């Protein structure tokens, strides 16, 4: 110890170096995390003609969900979402938009399956079935997933030949890509991501979704 007292300059330098390192690490984290998604963070509030909607037929309150049928967090959100669909059925328009993430290898196929079912008027039916059976088809090879989806469609009494053909169509691929492109443009990077009237919700728990909708109902019915 006594040998170091003559080196107080070195000691000050040492600790300043330590503080600089911590500050530098903090700065790097700041730069890496600034501007959460690299997009505007706001979503055009209007509905598109071919959006998948449920709930109120017309309302000032629009709830948009960016989701991926193969994402475990989206599955975890299902019980909460389904109780919201019921509770706010008369006051809120619920919109489902696709954001199939690349790490989920059947996610895009599942999105296409939902679009093919939508062509026969059963988007929400297959939406529920895809989530309910997610563990069965998540991560299996693409061709097996495809036949699994056709089987699901059959279970929903869809016309399976047409369903399988629609799943191959460029039109539906473009429809899914449109949602995903918009998500990228506004800076949605993960799923599920929720918007109420174009404003992204920062939710820590699914209860926060309900709170946000209650507030939305309160403000939209206020004079």
Identify which range of 87-95, 97-105, 141-149, 214-222 contacts other proteins by CB under 8 A: 97-105
Q: Of 99, 121, 94, which Cα lies nearest the Cα of 110?
A: 99
Considering only 44, 47, 76, 214, the residue that binds other proteins (CB under 8 A) is: 76
- Using CA atoms, how far residue 54 sits from 21, 82, 96, in Å, is 52, 11, 9
Considering only 2, 5, 6, 32, the residue that binds other proteins (CB under 8 A) is: 32
Q: What is the distance between the alpha carbons of residues 71 and 48, in angstroms, rounded to a whole number? A: 24
- By CB under 8 A, tell whether 37 contacts other proteins: yes
Considering only 2, 5, 103, 205, the residue that binds other proteins (CB under 8 A) is: 103
| Residue 159 beta carbon to other proteins: minimum distance, rounded to whole angstroms | 35
- By CB under 8 A, tell whether 45 contacts other proteins: no
Cα–chain-centroid distance for residue 202?
Answer: 12
Considering only 181, 202, 207, 214, the residue that binds other proteins (CB under 8 A) is: 202
Binding-residue total with other proteins (CB under 8 A): 33
- By CB under 8 A, tell whether 79 contacts other proteins: no
- By CB under 8 A, tell whether 188 contacts other proteins: yes
- By CB under 8 A, tell whether 14 contacts other proteins: yes
| Residue 133 beta carbon to other proteins: minimum distance, rounded to whole angstroms | 17
């Amino acid at each position: 110890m006594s040998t170091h007292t003559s080196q107080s300059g070195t000691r000050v330098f040492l600790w300043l170096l330590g503080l600089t390192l911590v500050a530098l690490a903090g700065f790097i984290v700041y730069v890496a995390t600034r501007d959460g998604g690299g997009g505007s963070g706001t979503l055009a509030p209007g509905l598109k003609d071919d959006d998948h909607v449920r709930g109120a037929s017309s309302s000032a309150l629009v709830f948009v969900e960016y989701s991926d049928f193969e994402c475990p967090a989206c599955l975890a959100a299902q019980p909460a979402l389904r109780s919201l669909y019921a509770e706010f059925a008369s006051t809120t328009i619920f919109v489902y938009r696709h954001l199939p993430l690349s790490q989920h290898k059947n996610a895009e196929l599942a999105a296409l399956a939902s679009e093919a079912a939508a062509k026969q008027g059963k988007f929400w039916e297959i939406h529920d079935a895809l989530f309910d059976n997610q563990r069965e088809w998540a991560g299996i090879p693409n061709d097996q997933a495809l036949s699994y989806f056709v089987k699901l469609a059959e279970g929903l009494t869809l016309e399976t030949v047409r369903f399988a053909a629609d799943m191959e169509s460029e039109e539906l691929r473009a429809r899914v890509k449109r949602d995903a492109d918009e998500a990228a443009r506004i800076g949605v990077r993960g799923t599920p991501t929720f918007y109420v009237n174009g404003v992204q919700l920062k939710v820590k728990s699914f209860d926060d979704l309900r709170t946000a909708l209650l507030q939305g109902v309160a403000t939209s019915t206020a004079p």
